Chain A
């Protein structure tokens, strides 16, 4: 378990983590016109921030709060509610394994053991070289391809433990086969 107890009222300036660049903020501002309130743009803003920084740092939360004109606590409220956002640094690629019933019936448990053994990390942890992070998630809505494993945006289907080596050896294992939209960056 990688839970860190942080006294968020007295975090020294140098421990707030990276902040948002002006380009990222501009990207977030482009979403304002879609909603009648600025607060509604918090989810897209967090997606963009996490794509840019790799996680949502405390400084990013503060800056987002300023940008969206809401208290920082409300940003943290949203960050900690949704499982997609990380509050501590993650690796360049995230392995997201489905653990719901269809995948587990077809061997997601074995695959999870294989991943943990191969990478030597547990859930919500990152390999020492900063390449892979690992987490499990409830149903990824690809039960017909169970067990499924996502590497960033790319869904790998019907993954057996013996396929793991092939997936990890492929440097492009997170590249989509279809053209991407540039509204969000690739994580």
Chain B
């Protein structure tokens, strides 16, 4: 391995989940160091380390903590372990192999924010992981790392695991809070931000599992060591996930800023494609961040000048918080790459992506609820061989008119829904058009008539059944009688 394993050092190590094994490797030293400091010093330290949240938005954790109001009795810490973004699984790997690393991170973050109760919101499908984590929590309580007067410091913290029940939107921080309160996971309108008024209307911090797992290492090895990792502005290591038809799908750790090509082809990462396939598309940051063109396309002849309008290979996109934006992606996201091989029809990818968001939209904001369902219908129709060229323009239009960026939605889910579909349409438009042009003549009319038999009598203009013109034969037959004249 050219990169040191920090978060993933225990992946695949038998017996690594027990407290004994964790303590033998120097576990809970960071927490001891932290408890010897003042909470505010700890916040400053994490701010200095510029630990950016690993959950997707990349917001600095220390800054988030400093938004808490200074005078407060009760503070809640919610640990976001509702990992539902396809194809992300780094939190699962982390909790499976090193539950105590997360618990130590919770203790440190809890002390820095003067948390009274920490809730680990774990998605319902994490069953094995729940039992591992619960066992670890029990062990930690028995050893005095949670409960009253932690390690003789006079600090009290409780830690509970709360199991979700299968809802993508509960990974959004306010959706998670609502779900924890025992309601449906409908995100809240911000402000007030959770730091001011969150869970049970008290100041609340919501942090991702991986963010918290970085904390023990920052404390034991120092901020300077942390700042030396990765490029400027994106410090530290990241757990990259790679899945799809690659030779070694899995979770690999590296400093931020490796390229997508390295993640797919590097011998320490994905190890190349199966059966010598080429990459058609790759979504390098989780589904919501959008798709890049793969090496099926020719290389950009002027390597230093980015040209997204041309069909060039884009796998040189570096996976950090800034370079992903240059390539027109929404951000780094969860740094989970899914690779689409050249044998896959891009229309299938579009349908799958559209279905995911149509299913997971919580239904609160109209343009997300209706827009995602609409895009799913369009995607299905294109796949069924009844697409229209201007469906692609329609998809582009829908995607620009939903979400937080035009300022229409409560949470970021519609942005995440729009981005992969928009980038798929932008980058693979020529392939979609090829499929649409190859359709049998009259396919659109047939598809419409299958849905609505009444349309048999109506002329179809631009793929839409329209009312006939007055004076035509079908008008006299159908419409004059219907009107009762």
A81→B184 contact, CB < 8 A: yes
A104→B352 contact, CB < 8 A: yes
Of the listed stretches B162-170, B256-264, B407-415, B473-481, name the one at the interface; the rest are far from the partner chain: B162-170
Check: A105 CB closer than 8 A to any chain B CB.
yes
B89→A181 contact, CB < 8 A: no
Contacts of B349 in A (CB 8 A): 101
Interface code B70-91, partner A: CB below 8 Å = 1, 0 otherwise? Answer: 0000000000000111111101
Contacts of A82 in B (CB 8 A): 124, 164-167, 184-185
Interface code A75-115, partner B: CB below 8 Å = 1, 0 otherwise? Answer: 00110011111000000000010011110111000000000
B200→A105 contact, CB < 8 A: no
Check: A167 CB closer than 8 A to any chain B CB.
no
Chain B CB within 10 Å, residue with most, of A44, A46, A77:
A44
A139→B250 contact, CB < 8 A: no
* Contact A139 B166, CB 8 Å, known A84-B124, A101-B287, A153-B128: no
Tell me which of A40, A137, A181 contacts B135 (CB under 8 A).
A181
A181 to B242, CA, bound (A): 31
Instruction: Tell me the smallest distance from the CB of B348 to a CB of chain A, in Å.
Output: 7
A60 to B134, CA, bound (A): 27
A137→B125 contact, CB < 8 A: yes
A68 to B125, CA, bound (A): 25
- Residues of A within 8 A of B (CB-CB), count: 52
Contacts of B184 in A (CB 8 A): 77-78, 81-82
Of the listed stretches A20-28, A120-128, A172-180, name the one at the interface; the rest are far from the partner chain: A172-180
A178→B132 contact, CB < 8 A: yes
A105 to B274, CA, bound (A): 12
A39 to B199, CA, bound (A): 13
Tell me which of B128, B163, B164, B348 contacts A104 (CB under 8 A).
B348
Nearest residue (CB) in A for B169 is: A81
B162→A106 contact, CB < 8 A: no
Contacts of A176 in B (CB 8 A): 127-128, 131
Nearest residue (CB) in B for A139 is: B86
Contacts of A154 in B (CB 8 A): 127-128
B338→A77 contact, CB < 8 A: no
Check: B226 CB closer than 8 A to any chain A CB.
no
Number of A-B contacts defined by CB within 8 Å: 167
Contacts of B180 in A (CB 8 A): 40
- Residues of B within 8 A of A (CB-CB), count: 63
Tell me which of B117, B243, B348 contacts A143 (CB under 8 A).
B243
Nearest residue (CB) in B for A68 is: B182
Contacts of A43 in B (CB 8 A): 162-165, 179, 182
Contacts of B127 in A (CB 8 A): 150, 152-155, 176
A39→B243 contact, CB < 8 A: no
Contacts of B134 in A (CB 8 A): 181, 183
Of the listed stretches B320-328, B353-361, B385-393, name the one at the interface; the rest are far from the partner chain: B353-361
Tell me which of A83, A101, A144 contacts B352 (CB under 8 A).
A101
A106 to B340, CA, bound (A): 10
> Which residues of chain B have a CB within 8 Å of any CB of chain A?
83-89, 91-92, 117, 123-128, 130-132, 134-135, 138, 158, 160, 162-168, 179-185, 200, 241-245, 249-251, 283, 287, 336, 338, 340-341, 344, 348-349, 352-353, 355-356, 359-360, 362
Supplied contacts A83-B167, A139-B85, A183-B134, 18 more A-B pairs, CB within 8 Å: A34-B160, A35-B182, A43-B164, A43-B182, A47-B163, A81-B184, A82-B165, A96-B125, A102-B244, A102-B338, A138-B86, A138-B359, A144-B241, A146-B249, A153-B127, A176-B128, A176-B131, A179-B131
